[in-house]
Amino acid sequence: MDCLFCSIINGDIPSTKVYEDEMVYAFRDINPQAPTHILVIPKIHIPSVDGIDENNSAVVAHIFECIPKIAKAEGLNGGYRVVSNCGDNACQSVKHLHFHILGGKQLADSMA
Ligand code: AMP
Protein backbone atom coordinates (compact mmCIF):
# COMPACT_ATOMS: atom_id res chain seq x y z
CA MET A 1 0.00 0.00 0.00
CA ASP A 2 1.32 3.42 -0.93
CA CYS A 3 0.84 5.54 2.19
CA LEU A 4 2.99 8.54 3.10
CA PHE A 5 2.61 8.11 6.84
CA CYS A 6 3.26 4.34 6.68
CA SER A 7 6.50 5.24 4.86
CA ILE A 8 7.37 7.70 7.64
CA ILE A 9 6.75 5.01 10.28
CA ASN A 10 8.94 2.59 8.32
CA GLY A 11 11.70 5.20 8.07
CA ASP A 12 11.57 5.27 4.28
CA ILE A 13 10.66 8.97 4.43
CA PRO A 14 12.44 11.13 7.03
CA SER A 15 10.57 12.89 9.82
CA THR A 16 11.33 14.74 13.02
CA LYS A 17 10.21 12.31 15.71
CA VAL A 18 8.95 13.63 19.02
CA TYR A 19 7.55 10.38 20.47
CA GLU A 20 7.35 6.69 19.62
CA ASP A 21 6.17 3.51 21.27
CA GLU A 22 4.94 0.13 20.06
CA MET A 23 1.58 1.51 18.88
CA VAL A 24 2.10 5.20 18.16
CA TYR A 25 4.44 7.54 16.27
CA ALA A 26 4.48 11.33 16.65
CA PHE A 27 6.45 13.80 14.55
CA ARG A 28 6.56 17.47 13.59
CA ASP A 29 4.31 18.65 10.78
CA ILE A 30 6.34 19.66 7.74
CA ASN A 31 4.16 22.75 7.23
CA PRO A 32 3.46 23.95 10.77
CA GLN A 33 0.33 26.04 11.34
CA ALA A 34 1.30 26.98 14.90
CA PRO A 35 4.62 27.28 16.78
CA THR A 36 4.08 23.70 17.91
CA HIS A 37 2.41 21.44 15.33
CA ILE A 38 2.75 17.72 15.88
CA LEU A 39 1.05 14.79 14.17
CA VAL A 40 0.23 11.71 16.22
CA ILE A 41 -0.48 8.57 14.21
CA PRO A 42 -1.17 4.89 14.85
CA LYS A 43 1.45 2.46 13.51
CA ILE A 44 -1.34 0.36 12.05
CA HIS A 45 -2.92 1.80 8.93
CA ILE A 46 -6.36 3.26 9.63
CA PRO A 47 -7.51 5.57 6.80
CA SER A 48 -9.31 8.16 8.93
CA VAL A 49 -11.61 8.64 11.93
CA ASP A 50 -14.23 6.97 9.75
CA GLY A 51 -12.18 3.76 9.92
CA ILE A 52 -12.20 3.51 13.72
CA ASP A 53 -14.20 0.55 15.03
CA GLU A 54 -14.29 -1.95 17.88
CA ASN A 55 -11.34 -3.84 16.40
CA ASN A 56 -8.88 -0.93 16.41
CA SER A 57 -10.18 1.63 18.91
CA ALA A 58 -7.63 0.56 21.55
CA VAL A 59 -4.89 2.32 19.58
CA VAL A 60 -7.01 5.47 19.48
CA ALA A 61 -7.45 5.33 23.24
CA HIS A 62 -3.69 4.91 23.53
CA ILE A 63 -3.09 7.91 21.27
CA PHE A 64 -5.22 9.99 23.63
CA GLU A 65 -3.14 8.76 26.56
CA CYS A 66 0.00 9.87 24.69
CA ILE A 67 -1.25 13.31 23.64
CA PRO A 68 -1.16 14.91 27.13
CA LYS A 69 2.33 13.50 27.70
CA ILE A 70 3.54 14.92 24.39
CA ALA A 71 1.89 18.27 25.13
CA LYS A 72 3.54 18.40 28.54
CA ALA A 73 6.95 17.50 27.08
CA GLU A 74 6.47 20.30 24.51
CA GLY A 75 5.64 22.80 27.26
CA LEU A 76 2.11 23.49 26.05
CA ASN A 77 1.04 24.62 29.49
CA GLY A 78 -1.32 27.29 28.19
CA GLY A 79 -3.44 24.79 26.30
CA TYR A 80 -3.53 23.24 22.86
CA ARG A 81 -5.92 22.01 20.19
CA VAL A 82 -6.34 18.44 18.91
CA VAL A 83 -7.77 18.12 15.41
CA SER A 84 -8.42 15.23 13.05
CA ASN A 85 -9.63 16.04 9.55
CA CYS A 86 -11.84 13.24 8.18
CA GLY A 87 -12.67 13.03 4.49
CA ASP A 88 -12.83 15.47 1.63
CA ASN A 89 -15.15 18.05 3.19
CA ALA A 90 -12.71 18.37 6.07
CA CYS A 91 -9.74 18.64 3.64
CA GLN A 92 -8.03 15.47 4.85
CA SER A 93 -4.94 15.29 2.63
CA VAL A 94 -3.20 12.17 4.01
CA LYS A 95 -5.37 9.06 4.23
CA HIS A 96 -3.76 7.65 7.36
CA LEU A 97 -5.47 8.54 10.63
CA HIS A 98 -3.66 11.40 12.35
CA PHE A 99 -4.31 13.82 15.15
CA HIS A 100 -2.85 17.30 14.91
CA ILE A 101 -1.59 18.86 18.15
CA LEU A 102 -1.50 22.64 17.70
CA GLY A 103 -0.22 25.04 20.31
CA GLY A 104 2.40 27.47 21.43
CA LYS A 105 0.27 30.55 20.82
CA GLN A 106 -3.28 31.84 21.33
CA LEU A 107 -5.23 29.89 18.70
CA ALA A 108 -8.14 31.28 16.69
CA ASP A 109 -11.58 31.09 18.27
CA SER A 110 -13.09 29.68 15.08
CA MET A 111 -12.50 26.09 14.03
CA ALA A 112 -14.29 26.11 10.70
P1 AMP B 1 -4.49 16.71 6.89
O2 AMP B 1 -4.58 17.81 5.88
O3 AMP B 1 -5.36 16.89 8.07
O4 AMP B 1 -4.67 15.36 6.22
O5 AMP B 1 -3.02 16.76 7.49
C6 AMP B 1 -1.92 16.24 6.83
C7 AMP B 1 -0.73 16.94 7.40
O8 AMP B 1 0.42 16.22 7.02
C9 AMP B 1 -0.54 18.38 6.88
O10 AMP B 1 -0.58 19.28 7.98
C11 AMP B 1 0.81 18.33 6.20
O12 AMP B 1 1.56 19.51 6.39
C13 AMP B 1 1.45 17.14 6.87
N14 AMP B 1 2.50 16.49 6.11
C15 AMP B 1 2.45 16.11 4.81
N16 AMP B 1 3.59 15.49 4.47
C17 AMP B 1 4.39 15.49 5.56
C18 AMP B 1 5.70 15.00 5.85
N19 AMP B 1 6.45 14.39 4.91
N20 AMP B 1 6.20 15.18 7.09
C21 AMP B 1 5.47 15.80 8.04
N22 AMP B 1 4.22 16.27 7.84
C23 AMP B 1 3.69 16.12 6.62
Instruction: Kindly name the residue from 37, 96, 98, 100 that is annotated as catalytic.
Output: 98
Give the mean pLDDT of 80-91.
Answer: 98
Q: Mean pLDDT across the stretch 50-78?
A: 98
Q: What is the pTM (predicted TM-score) of this model? A: 0.98
Percent above pLDDT 90 for the chain = 99
Check pocket membership of 29 for ligand 1, CB cut-off 6 A: yes
Query: What is the percent of the chain with per-residue pLDDT over 70, rounded to a whole number?
Result: 100
Q: How far is the CA of 41 from the centre of ligand 1 (A)?
A: 11
Sign of the CA dihedral with 61 first, then 35, 25, and 5 last: positive
96 belongs to the catalytic site? no
- In sequence order, the 6+-apart residues with CB closer than 8 A to the CB of 78 are 103, 106
Residue nearest to atom 13 of ligand 1 (CA): 29
